Structure 1
Amino acid sequence: MSTIEKALAKQKAKENAESQLDETVAIEVNQATPSASESTSEPIAESAVVEKQQGKARDDMDGKQFGKELVLPLESLDNDGYVSLSSKRKLINEELRAIKRKVLANAFGPLANTLDSANLVAITSTMPQEGKSFTSINLALSIALEQDKTVLLVDADVLKPSVSKKLGVEDKIEQGLMDYLLGDVDDVRDIIYRTNIDNLRFIPAGKSSHLSTELLASERMAQLAHEFVSRYPDRVVVMDAPPLLGINETVVLANLAGQVLVVVEEESTKIQGLKQAIEQLDKDKAVGFVVNKTKKNTGITGYGYAYAYANHE
């Protein structure tokens, strides 16, 4: 039985919650917001110190001089089940923290020396509607709470972009990734939006184009990915990528990242499809997966996460 099959079976059975597969973290998230006594807080204020220390140089590179800033509706995001950046206590903060710690360890720990672009994380799925954009946003919000890290969230699902809509800023976007790849924008700073979260930057998908998938596999995209990971050594880039199956260019895009996180939906994603998707990825990548939309014993649908390396040799 493969690592993927074992982790999926473990998540489904909900047995032996304290045991782990090798390098596996398995956790469950309740969709409903828990009471204040159920979790611990992680206030956004802790992220402001490093941002101030890095000063004008970072702001200039991230578009401050262009006045590009998005005000995210944090209360609405909180109410919609996303990671909270206030002092409110939510179980989902704890669940995402477990995944975040593994991602950060890969990006900045000993393994980072063996991975190219270790701080670039591509989040994808086998098919649409499996929760990858939800996961991308939550991981970015969780990393933004770190005291000594910043995060750049990139909506690279240019065929069916949804991150801007989920963030509640769809009508405030002027330009994005596709505008840069098409050559309509020369300076990457023109597509990087600051937000009202100190440590979070955002690149939206931008305009639609019939060349969208080809441009994702272009040399210009490869150069941009390199710029993403090399600009700031303390930054994590979270890239919401298209599904792996049915879009050949997604594999090229995912392989630009040092880490690939594949989101699967319980009782929906097929094991064979998941194997096929992972077999397309470079074998030197840190490939993990997230099990999403689990069924609780009560029959209520929530969000369950499992993170593991996939053995795809």
Structure 2
Amino acid sequence: MTDQSKIPGPGRSLFDRDEDVWGADELRPAPVPSELARPVNRQAPKRVEPAVSPLRDLQHAAPAPSSPASSSPAPSSPVSVSAPQVQEAVPADVAPLQLSGHIEPIDREQLQRAGLILPEGQVTGLLEEFRIVKRQVLNSVRKAREAGKGARAQRVLVCSPLPAEGKTFCAANLALAMAAEKDSEVLLVDADFAKPSILSTLGLSSSTGLMDALANPDVRLEDCIIETDIAGLLVLPAGNQTNSDSEFLTSERTAQVLDRLTAGAPNRIVIFDSPPALAASPAAELARHVGQAIVVTRADRTGQSALEDALTLLSACPDIKLLLNAAHFSPSGRRFGTYYGQEA
């Protein structure tokens, strides 16, 4: 009788029979682990100042309430002590700005060509998006002021990891949206000293700015600020270029100049349009002087590694937010502007 033991059974395909003869171990996919490795967190740990209470007083301190948002385990010691709130005092001798009252008009046609918000225009999807952004910023400003952060709470840094990701576009639109607030005004500062673009974006012109005030004590800060015909909007240009912009930002005069921007004006929000964090150092230096930072990421361009490196450089800022730019897809189908008869 013929031996039929090597005849393949039913249901085996040509691929299965080929694998029996030649083998296919090298073509098999790698095994998928049950738990993926956690991503690397490149953000530098924030430094915590030690409590100033004497050691003998810690035995009688009340336990600090636990935060529901924290996922860290409770300490083994039955007594936990919360550090006292640090109040950032503003020097009493800081003189408020005495603006000249000279109004310069902003070119509305230039705003439209740049795709920016038109202050007197109809409600668009772009305006609605930045209304949401500004509300988050103003809420953070209020919480920081209540926490005693002082003038630093009124400063907002807008930057991006790399060039061409839309930071100036977002900074200008945020300032235009915030200028419409009834209880506050906004000062838009061009802090991109190497490649300033705020003046050309708004159709303004000036010769002196922030860097001139930092480099020369004889330059009056009031003479550098432009009062625009948009109610509630002030502009501070970058000023003349220098090869020492980073060194000037680390000097003691920087804190004095920045304190004057909000002296006597508790409702003034200062927005800094800084250079990209991974392309120039001023962004990291300015992060030490602001209460919150908005990192603009472009949906079709910004990579994860670049974003993580930028967050590390900006880690001196206590509150960092991410703003996704050029996103054309909404999982919820959100389309702002159509409710008002105008769609962007």
Superimposed CA distance per residue, residues 101-137 of structure 1 (whole angstroms, 9 cap, x where no aligned partner): 0000011246741645111000011111111011110
**1:204 and 2:237 are equivalent in the alignment:** yes
**Matching of residues 94-113 of structure 1 within 5 Å:** 94-109=128-143, 112-113=146-147
Q: Give yes or no for contact 2:277–2:283 (8 Å, CA) kept in 1.
A: yes
**Rounded Cα–Cα distance in structure 2 between residues aligned with 1:103 and 1:233:** 15
2:202 is matched with 167
**Rounded Cα–Cα distance in structure 2 between residues aligned with 1:229 and 1:83:** 25
1:270 aligned residue (293, 303, 313):
303
What one-letter code is carried by the residue in structure 2 that aligns with 1:161? P
Secondary structure, aligned partner of 1:189:
helix
2:325 is matched with 292
Change (3 A) 1:233 1:248: same
Superimposed CA distance per residue, residues 162-181 of structure 1 (whole angstroms, 9 cap, x where no aligned partner): 11111112xx2121112111
1:258 is matched with 291
- Structure 1 unaligned runs (5+)? 5-21, 23-56, 298-313
TM-score normalised over the length of structure 2: 0.64
Q: Give yes or no for contact 1:179–1:185 (8 Å, CA) kept in 2.
A: no
**Rounded Cα–Cα distance in structure 2 between residues aligned with 1:191 and 1:283:** 28
State the Cα distance separating 1:258 from its structure 2 match. Answer: 0.2
1:61 aligned residue (98, 108, 115):
98
Change (3 A) 1:272 1:112: farther
- Structure 2 unaligned runs (5+)? 1-37, 42-68, 70-94, 331-344
**Rounded Cα–Cα distance in structure 2 between residues aligned with 1:110 and 1:214:** 28
Secondary structure, aligned partner of 1:278:
helix
TM-score normalised over the length of structure 1: 0.70
What one-letter code is carried by the residue in structure 2 that aligns with 1:155? D
What one-letter code is carried by the residue in structure 2 that aligns with 1:80? A
**Rounded Cα–Cα distance in structure 1 between residues aligned with 2:247 and 2:316:** 23
**Rounded Cα–Cα distance in structure 2 between residues aligned with 1:238 and 1:151:** 7
**Rounded Cα–Cα distance in structure 2 between residues aligned with 1:231 and 1:190:** 17
**Rounded Cα–Cα distance in structure 2 between residues aligned with 1:93 and 1:184:** 39
**Rounded Cα–Cα distance in structure 2 between residues aligned with 1:207 and 1:149:** 29
Change (3 A) 1:80 1:243: closer
Q: Give yes or no for contact 1:141–1:200 (8 Å, CA) kept in 2.
A: yes
Q: Give yes or no for contact 1:176–1:205 (8 Å, CA) kept in 2.
A: yes
2:340 is matched with none
State the Cα distance separating 1:225 from its structure 2 match. Answer: 1.8
Larger helix proportion, structure 1 or 2? 1
Change (3 A) 1:88 1:75: farther
2:165 is matched with 130
Secondary structure, aligned partner of 2:157:
strand
Percent identity for Structure 1 against Structure 2? 32
**1:146 and 2:193 are equivalent in the alignment:** no
2:54 is matched with none
Quick check: which has more Rg, 1 or 2? 2
2:19 is matched with none
Q: Give yes or no for contact 2:246–2:285 (8 Å, CA) kept in 1.
A: no
State the Cα distance separating 1:75 from its structure 2 match. Answer: 4.0
Q: Please identify, of 247-256 and 174-183, the stretch whose mean Cα deviation from structure 2 is larger.
A: 247-256
Aligned length: 241
Change (3 A) 1:234 1:178: same
More relative contact order in 1 or in 2 (CA 8 Å, sep 6+)? 1
Superimposed CA distance per residue, residues 155-214 of structure 1 (whole angstroms, 9 cap, x where no aligned partner): 011011111111112xx2121112111207432101111000121111001111122232
Secondary structure, aligned partner of 2:277:
coil
Computed over aligned residues only, the root mean square deviation of the Cα atoms, in angstroms, reads 2.7
**1:238 and 2:282 are equivalent in the alignment:** no
Larger strand proportion, structure 1 or 2? 1
